[in-house]
């Protein structure tokens, strides 16, 4: 037992020394010249397809301002919150990224995360450091709004008492409701609801179910799928046996929406199929096979699609196409919007440091963005209520209508 006591005294001495060293290390203001945006998104594994377009959007936004704002050089760091052994977001890596961003004196904004679960880890860390976080993808309502998640939400994400977390995407509680309304408008009477058992998919499916019941639609089934299964033939048979008019799937391309659509068709189901914005990307059509989706598939999205946009949005589409030789997808617009909000805030900030940028982001008002003209509300949510409905026509998304009116 001799060496253990030696070890213990070592640590005690070490921590005392360090405690002193740490408090001596005062947070210095950013040296004049460089400000850094850090994004933390799952870059390894299955979400890579979606995050690529998001990073493209962020890079485009920075390029458009020429990589500088008011004489300050804007740098961008693309962090990965996934690890190879997980192939998906990893909470330890997310915490590590958030801590690294906090330590990086030049970092003034954190763009992320992709998964709401990762946001739960990152927000409190960044909140204590007063670093603004803008998410291009989190839709779990409890992160910002009271009454939708647990009783202690969203206050647990604000240990400093201030709000540092903002998001440019509408939350599940809005999109799920609009989706159910649209289902009723499409004359669906019996709906079968599927979800991928993930935070996003399950959340939005729960909201859809609640609203559908409220509207008097008959919910003939509610099932959570295994997103790694090879196929859903047996589930398709079960769905077909209840003969619904519409099947709603709460999930993403990543959680196998393509296979679900495919198997519903090959299992003989011929009715409507509706999915949320996690599937609003070409990869979904490619995974599902256009023939399985055409004209009977409906996609909701928190904003207007590329071809419907005018002004800023139209310019974004042109620029995106020119730079990446591809149409901007839902996630590209979200990424671009998040980065632009931050860039504009940097321009408006009185002091070009974390506090200044945070104040400027929270003051964002009537922002002329690609998702419409919107402001951040008191919770940090976008005020934009523009939801659009798409269908798939001849292998491409086709705008149908603005939802909610």
Give the residue from 359, 306, 371 showing the smallest Cα distance to 166. 359
Give the separation between CA 274 and CA 184, rounded to whole angstroms: 12
Secondary structure class of 399 (helix, strand, coil): strand
* Binding residues for other proteins restricted to 131-190, rule: CB under 8 A: 140, 142, 149-152, 156, 159
Kindly tell me which residue out of 29, 33, 147, 268 binds other proteins, with binding defined by CB under 8 A: 268
Q: Whole-number minimum distance, CB 263 to other proteins, in Å?
A: 8
Whose Cβ is closer to other proteins: residue 164's or residue 384's? Answer: 164
Report CA-CA distances (Å) from 370 to 19, 303, 392.
Answer: 47, 8, 22
How many other C-beta atoms lie within 10 A of the C-beta of residue 378? Answer: 9
- 29 C-beta neighbours (distance < 10 Å), count: 12
> Which tokens belong to 360?
């400027």
Binding residues among 2-31 for other proteins as defined by CB under 8 A: 2-4, 7-8, 10-11, 14-15, 17-19, 21-22
Question: Which of 4, 69, 156 is closest to 339 using CA atoms?
Answer: 69
Helix axes 330-348, 48-64, angle to 10 degrees: 40
- For other proteins, which residue of 163, 174, 199, 279 counts as binding (CB under 8 A)? 199
Binding segment for other proteins (CB under 8 A), chosen from 99-107, 164-172, 184-192, 371-379, is 99-107
One residue of 95, 146, 219, 400 binding other proteins per CB under 8 A = 95
Q: Give the Cα separation of 268 and 266 in Å (integer).
A: 5
Q: Applying CB under 8 A, which of residues 43, 167, 340, 354 lies at the interface with other proteins?
A: 43
48 contacts other proteins (rule: CB under 8 A): yes
3-class state of residue 61 by DSSP: helix
What minimum distance in Å lies between the beta carbon of 131 and other proteins?
A: 12
User: Residue 95 in contact with residue 124, Cβ under 8 Å?
Assistant: no
Q: Are strands 88-89 and 82-83 parallel, antiparallel or unpaired?
A: antiparallel
Q: Are 382 and 160 in contact (CB under 8 A)?
A: no
Contact flag: residue 282 with other proteins (CB under 8 A): yes
Stretch 315-334: interaction string toward other proteins, x if CB under 8 A: -----------xx-------
* Residues 285-304 as x/- pattern, contact with other proteins by CB under 8 A: -xxxx---------------
Q: Does 271 bind other proteins (CB under 8 A)?
A: no
Closer of 251 and 380 to other proteins (Cβ): 251
Residue 354 found at the interface with other proteins (CB under 8 A) = no
Q: Which two tokens stand for residue 361?
A: 């982001």
Distance CA 351, CA 281 (A): 38
| Total chain residues near other proteins (CB under 8 A) | 100
- Of 149 and 313, nearer to other proteins (C-beta) is 149
Q: 11: which 2 tokens?
A: 């640590």
Please identify which residue in 34, 68, 184, 266 interacts with other proteins, judged by CB under 8 A.
Answer: 266
Query: Looking only at residues 107 through 126 of this chain, which bind other proteins when binding is defined by CB under 8 A?
Result: 117, 120-121, 124-125
d(C-alpha 193, C-alpha 398), whole Å: 23
Whether 281 and 50 have beta carbons less than 8 Å apart is answered as yes
Phi (first) and psi of residue 240, to 5 degrees: -65, -35
Does 223 bind other proteins (CB under 8 A)? Our answer is yes
Q: Which is nearer to other proteins, 198 or 381 (CB)?
A: 198
Provide, rounded to whole angstroms, the least separation between the CB of residue 119 and other proteins: 10
Pick the stretch among 131-139, 255-263, 314-322, 351-359 that binds other proteins (CB under 8 A): 255-263
Instruction: Using CB under 8 A, pick the residue from 102, 137, 299, 403 that binds other proteins.
Output: 102
Pairing of strands 72-80, 68-69: antiparallel
DSSP 25: S
Residue 224 found at the interface with other proteins (CB under 8 A): yes
Using the rule CB under 8 A, which residue among 99, 308, 379, 396 binds other proteins?
A: 99
């Amino acid at each position: 037992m001799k060496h253990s006591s030696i070890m213990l005294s070592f640590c005690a001495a070490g921590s005392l020394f360090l405690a002193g060293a740490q408090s001596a290390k005062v947070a210095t203001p950013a040296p004049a010249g460089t400000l850094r945006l850090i994004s933390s998104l799952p870059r390894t594994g299955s979400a890579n397809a979606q995050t690529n377009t998001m990073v493209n959007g962020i890079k485009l936004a920075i390029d458009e301002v020429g990589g500088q704002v008011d004489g300050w050089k804007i740098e961008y760091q693309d962090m990965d919150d996934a690890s190879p052994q997980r192939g998906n977001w990893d909470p330890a890596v997310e915490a590590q990224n958030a801590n690294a961003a906090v330590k990086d004196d030049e970092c003034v904004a954190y763009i992320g995360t992709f998964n709401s679960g990762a946001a739960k880890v990152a927000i409190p860390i960044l909140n204590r450091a007063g670093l603004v976080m803008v998410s291009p993808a989190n839709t779990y309502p409890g992160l910002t709004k009271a009454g939708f998640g647990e009783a202690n939400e969203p206050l647990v994400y604000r240990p400093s008492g201030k709000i540092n977390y903002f998001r440019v995407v509408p939350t599940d509680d809005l999109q799920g409701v609009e989706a159910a309304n649209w289902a009723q408008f499409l004359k669906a009477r019996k709906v079968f609801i599927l979800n991928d058992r993930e935070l996003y998919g399950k959340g939005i499916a729960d909201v859809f179910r609640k609203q559908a019941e409220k509207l008097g639609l008959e919910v003939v089934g509610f099932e959570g799928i295994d997103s790694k299964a090879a196929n859903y033939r047996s589930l398709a048979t079960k769905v077909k046996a209840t003969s619904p008019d519409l099947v709603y799937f709460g999930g993403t391309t990543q959680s196998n929406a393509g296979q679900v659509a495919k198997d519903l068709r090959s299992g003989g189901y011929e009715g409507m199929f509706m999915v949320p914005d996690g599937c609003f990307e070409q990869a979904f059509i490619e995974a599902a096979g256009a023939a399985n989706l055409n004209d009977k598939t409906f996609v909701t999205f928190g904003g207007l699609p590329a071809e419907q946009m005018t002004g800023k949005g139209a310019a974004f589409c042109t620029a995106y196409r020119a730079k990446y030789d591809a149409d901007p997808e839902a996630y590209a617009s979200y990424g671009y919007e998040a980065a632009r909000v931050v860039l504009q805030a940097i321009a408006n900030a009185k002091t070009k440091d974390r506090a200044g940028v945070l104040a400027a982001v929270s003051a964002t008002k009537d922002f002329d963005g690609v998702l419409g003209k919107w402001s951040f509300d008191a919770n940090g949510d976008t005020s934009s209520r523009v939801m659009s409905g798409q269908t798939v026509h001849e292998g491409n998304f086709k705008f149908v209508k603005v939802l909610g009116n």
